[in-house]
Amino acid sequence: MPACPEPNARRQTLRRLTAGALTGGLAILPFDPALAGAQIEEQMSHSVRSALSAAVSKAAPPEPVFVKASDKQLYARWLEASSQRLARYQSNPIERQEFLQTLWYEARRAGLSLSLVLGLVQVESAFRKHAVSSAGALGYMQVMPFWVSTLGDGIVSRLFHMQTNLRFGCVILRHYLDRERGDLFMGLGRYNGSRGQAAYPNSVLAAQRLWLQVTD
C-alpha cells in the first residue's frame, strides 16, 4: 500500500491540481468559511483499511438492474424528478442522467439514503465535478487526497472522475456513520472534519429534506 503523502506533498499536489484546473478553464468552488473543512486522516486497523480498499476498488458499472417492474418504475420516477431539480445546477440533461444514475448506484451500494448523498453533494460542491476546497478536498463529494493513497493507487487526479469520486465519498461516509454507530449528526461532522459542531450537519440535513420531497 503506498504511504500517505506528507502535508507539504499534499499542498504541492493541491497547487498542481488547482493550477491545472485554472488553465483548463474548470470552475473552482469557493468554500463558505462557516462550513470549510474536510475529512481528517486517522489511524485505521489493517482490517478496516483492507475492507475500505476492497469497497473502493471493486469495479462494477452503475447500470441499474431491476427484478421487479415496480422497482424499475420507482427508479424512473426518481430519476425524472431528481433530474428536474438538478437542472438548476447542471444544464445538460445527458450529464444529469449519468450523474444521477451513478449516484443511485454508489449510494445504494454503500447502504446510504439517496437524499442524504444528494444533500451532501449540494452542500460540499454544489454539484461541481472539478470543485477544489480551501482545505484541499476534491470533486463532487470533496474527498481529501490522502484517501487515494490510503485506499487506492495514489493518483489524486482520479478524484475528478465522477464514479471514482462518488464511490470514495459514499464509502467514506458509510465508514464514518458506522464508526458513529449510525449517528447521522456525528457521522456528517466527522466527514467534514468538524465533529460535534452543528453548522455542517445541519446544512446537509436541510439540503436532504429538499431532496426527500423528490423521493428516496
Q: Per-residue pLDDT tens for 74-89? A: 999 999 999 999 999 9
Is 160 within a domain? Answer: yes
Is 129 within a domain? Answer: yes
- Give the integer Cα–Cα distance in Å for 165 and 90: 17
Q: Looking at residues 151-155, what average pLDDT do you find?
A: 86
Q: Looking at residues 181-196, what average pLDDT do you find?
A: 94
Greatest extent of the chain over all pairs of C-alpha atoms, in Å? 53
Q: Is the pLDDT of residue 167 over 90?
A: yes
Measured from the Cβ of residue 124, the count of other Cβ atoms closer than 10 Å reads 29
Enter the C-alpha cell of residue 163: 464514479
Percent of the chain residues topping a pLDDT of 90: 62
What pLDDT is stored for residue 90 in this prediction? 96
Percent of the chain residues topping a pLDDT of 70: 82
- Between 93-109 and 162-179, two packed helices, what is the crossing angle to 10 degrees? 30
Non-local CB neighbours of 78 within 8 Å, separated by 6+ positions? 104, 114, 214, 215, 216
Is 40 within a domain? Answer: no
Domain count, the chain: 1
Q: Looking at residues 55-81, what average pLDDT do you find?
A: 88
Higher-scoring residue by pLDDT: 123, 48: 123
Is 115 within a domain? Answer: yes
Contact indicator for 145, 136 with CB cutoff of 8 Å: yes
The domain containing residue 198 runs over which residues?
7-32+45-212
* DSSP letter assigned to residue 138: B
Is 1 within a domain? Answer: no
Instruction: Give phi and psi for 120, each to the nearest 5.
Output: -65, -45
Is 37 within a domain? Answer: no
Contact indicator for 156, 17 with CB cutoff of 8 Å: yes
Amino acid letter, 161 = H
Q: Per-residue pLDDT tens for 12-59? A: 444 444 444 333 333 334 445 446 567 888 888 888 888 889 888 877
CATH value at residue 98: 1.10.530
**Total-model pTM:** 0.81
Computed over every residue of the chain, the mean pLDDT equals 84
What pLDDT is stored for residue 56 in this prediction? 86
Is 13 within a domain? Answer: yes
Is 26 within a domain? Answer: yes
